[in-house]
A and B are shown apart, each in its own frame.
Chain A
Amino acid sequence: MESIMKSSALSVTENELDELVIRILRLMNEYINCKINIENRIRSGCLDLAKARYITGNRNISSLQLPGEDALGVEAQYRVSQSNKNGFMEYKSINPVELQETFIVENFKNVNLSSDKSTTRNTGNSSKDPIKWFGFLVPQSLRQAKVTFEKCLEVVIECANIQSELSHCLELYKNRKKDIEK
């Protein structure tokens, strides 16, 4: 009787293992597709950067324009939040417009009803737009590069989620295998 119960428990674990393996293989396939998608977008973005350099000159679009450690007021426009979902991390991008609106609403509650209110409301994140590091009249290809890399970031988040789930499944597989070997 005991051996029948043990063998049925073993077959349940083996079925779980089989499902895990299929899930892992599916996730690996999605992961690789995601990386190829990122590669295509990076290539397209770099091509736009090259076009912009051809117009403005090599030195005007390079790491020389990136903020140094003595720069002030450099804040990320794109952030992520994480939450625990079924044992692994799930990342979500935080919309910078929503973030700015939340900031404005909070500030509006704290300021008095005066002419300062309009200044607070009009404060957008346009002054922190990274494209401004490259000048005020930038070529259209640089704006296109910005859009491409913004879309690339969405794919990066998707890839991070797949990686997180894949890592979790690999851990589960390892533990289930140990249970069987016992």
Chain B
Amino acid sequence: MTLHSAVKGKLLAVIGDEDTCVGFLLGGIGEINKNRHSNFMVVDKNTAVSDIEDCFKRFVKRDDIDIILINQNVAEMIRHSIDAHTQPIPAVLEIPSKDHPYDATKDSILRRAKGMFNPDDIH
């Protein structure tokens, strides 16, 4: 059983709209752990921003989650929390949804990269 635990690996979590969550859970990432905590959250138009933020912070604190997938439009709602997360683990990946195409100008890591190349530095 030790070998099994060693290769078991970590989870991917998902915070997104219904189709995103249904799709990725169909892909096999869904889990309910022994503490009855899930690794996914379905966000709809009635979901409070505070709930999304609390869920994101819970996923970040868990040591069994390595990657958090979050729809980019949902990430915009909690941008301050996402930008504040600078640790490499868990990795936070902003993914597009069917209703909101990918916008590179809003992606956290690309904004950080753009900020590094300040036009004032170009002599």
Known: A78-B12, A106-B1, A153-B12. A163 touches B109 (CB 8 A): yes
Chain A, residue nearest B71 (CB): A42
On whether the beta carbons of A66 and B104 are closer than 8 Å, the reply is: no
Contact, CB under 8 Å: A160 / B9: no
Q: Looking at chain B's contact residues, is the secondary structure mostly helix, strand, loop, or mixed?
A: mixed
Of the residues B18, B19, B28, contact of A150 by C-beta under 8 Å: B28
- In the complex, how many residues of chain B place their beta carbon closer than 8 angstroms to a beta carbon of chain A? 52
Do B113 and A77 have beta carbons less than 8 Å apart? no
Contact flag A94-B9 (CB < 8 Å), given A63-B18, A71-B32: yes
In the complex the two chains form, is B42's CB within 8 Å of A167's CB? no
What residues on B are CB-neighbors of A12 within 8 Å? none
* Complex contact A103–B4 (CB within 8 A): yes
- Contacting B at CB under 8 A, from A149-170, are 149-150, 152-153, 156-157, 159-160, 163-164, 166-167, 170
Asked whether any CB of chain A lies closer than 8 Å to the CB of B29, the reply is: yes
Kindly state the separation between the CA atoms of A164 and B64 in the bound complex, as whole angstroms.
Answer: 18
Indicate if the CB atoms of A76 and B88 lie closer than 8 Å. Answer: no
Query: Does B91 lie within 8 Å of A76, measured CB to CB?
Result: no
Bound complex: CA of A36 vs CA of B110, how far in Å? 14
Taking a contact as CB atoms closer than 8 A, the residue among A32, A62, A75, A160 that contacts B22 in the complex is: A62
Q: Which single residue of chain B is at the shortest CB-CB distance from A96?
A: B28
On whether A38 and B91 interact (CB within 8 A), knowing A149-B27, A166-B113, the answer reads: no
